[in-house]
Structure 1
């Protein structure tokens, strides 16, 4: 599953207690990469796969809010506003190899943008030496349904991110294959993803809207469809907010035979779904339902 233009690059799990949630993902059998820092006051760690990854992020220094602001928007302050309300699946980054051209094309398609951000992030390579990642982001935040928002992400030095040593996880996970949202009216969000992917790549019904990004699915479920899909697993705690929001990530393991033994050893409670996948509740995963498929 090679990543393509606007494929799922990385979902962002946004939390308050960074160390606790990073530890939860270790219990699930992931090997997070070394902790890094954004210039605008957030800290992060990545769960790297061959073509995409999961980012865990939290605020570590709010005094840096305002750094790299564009038109009044500050990424760090946006993270802080999110965690003031809730924790869990916030932004979802989409893959880009040319942020400026892709940004212009999406604006032309009718999507509202908050602008482009270019920044550098200090990081540590597997051998312990320091280096600097160079990144461009194109912001496409959904101002009407704020928790179904995206940005495009262009890594100018991808060799510093897609490091083979960081892609070896005890749970055998090789990819994020789906991001799932909950919405009272999924069809209200269909046009957003048609703007990204074209009508031919967005399946629509009353209860399910599903966009094929070319590197994983973006799935929007009604409450009825979500109850059917996840069964008895509780939904993430969104503090009573009924606006559309992220609820789950699906990942694929190349070594499914090891999963249940690994989780038993680590004290992880797991449920087998009707689709023969494994479901892990949000309280064990940073307020996100994790689904593991073989």
Structure 2
């Protein structure tokens, strides 16, 4: 008798959020109550200013630092930069381009993605400097394995192996005025969500899918990944997307916070408009914030 080994779902690691410039993104994220890390410089022409959570997930606002370097890297097969450039060309300079899963073995993931027909290209290995607000420095190393679906040109995915974690205290970076703890849900849209069931199952390494009238849910080890129809996106989050455009699009993410009422007060004091839907507080897109951010009590 043949038995199928159960899969261990991967965790959500971080989200890639293209921005026009990091200064605008930093001001917006600060007004939302997040602590933003110092600028990190990539060796292939991009830069970030991340928001780290205590559950080991993070947000990566990503900007172009050296355009010529980015263009050269893209021509030479750097999937990360090439996909960032393609996203900006099609969708503009700000948005939500990639969902990243955590892994202990990116090389094995790459082989699995090739085998399953969803590889987006060759792996990427790199390191960059890391600095905390108090000046402590370290070097962070990463190994990435990419996945994509040609039917969804405006979203890509990769697994991230943290090869070398900086030996610095991140407590200050993981402490936020809005009481944010971590990522709880990633929200995508598509007219017929189950058309993308297979590639998402392979990405998350999860066989179980919960299909419902508004879409489907796939559970990662630390968060829910939800793909909603346009009607579902409107109903649950008040977000609009075309009824005719096909392909996965990353639309929003849910952040767990300690005290939702305190977040509502903080945002009101900072003149941030919000929409209350049930037990969630939705902050729609704005300059420096290319995706909807949803807060919920955790």
TM-score (norm 2): 0.87
Partner of 1:92 in structure 2? 99
Deviations 1:197-234 (A, max 9, x none): 45642212453111101111111100111111113xx4
2:289 aligns to what SS in structure 1? coil
Label 1:75 to 1:283 Cα distance change in 2 as closer, same or farther (>3 A).
same
Label 1:121 to 1:66 Cα distance change in 2 as closer, same or farther (>3 A).
farther
Structure 1 residue 66, shift from structure 2 partner: 5.6
Structure 2 counterpart of 1:41, from 39, 45, 57: 45
| More deviation, 126-135/137-146 | 126-135
Is 1:52 the counterpart of 2:62? The answer is: no
1:115 aligns to what SS in structure 2? coil
Is 1:83 the counterpart of 2:88? The answer is: yes
State how far apart, in whole Å, the 2-side matches of 1:273 and 1:251 are. Answer: 15
State how far apart, in whole Å, the 2-side matches of 1:19 and 1:29 are. Answer: 15
Partner of 2:4 in structure 1? none
Partner of 2:3 in structure 1? none
User: What is the aligned length?
Assistant: 286
Q: What's the C-alpha RMSD, in Å, of the aligned pairs?
A: 2.5
Partner of 1:288 in structure 2? 291
Give the 5 Å matches for 1:98-137: 98-137=105-144
State how far apart, in whole Å, the 1-side matches of 2:206 and 2:10 are. Answer: 15
Query: Which segments of 5 or more consecutive residues in structure 2 lack a partner in the other structure?
Result: 1-7
Structure 2 counterpart of 1:266, from 264, 270, 282: 270
Structure 1 counterpart of 2:214, from 203, 207, 210: 207
8 Å CA contact 1:40–1:75 kept in 2: the answer is no
State how far apart, in whole Å, the 2-side matches of 1:161 and 1:80 are. Answer: 32
Is 1:19 the counterpart of 2:26? The answer is: no
Label 1:140 to 1:198 Cα distance change in 2 as closer, same or farther (>3 A).
closer
Give the 5 Å matches for 1:90-239: 90-159=97-166, 163-197=170-204, 200-205=207-212, 207-231=214-238, 234-235=239-240
Deviations 1:76-120 (A, max 9, x none): 343233222322110111001221123323433443241211111
1:88 aligns to what SS in structure 2? coil
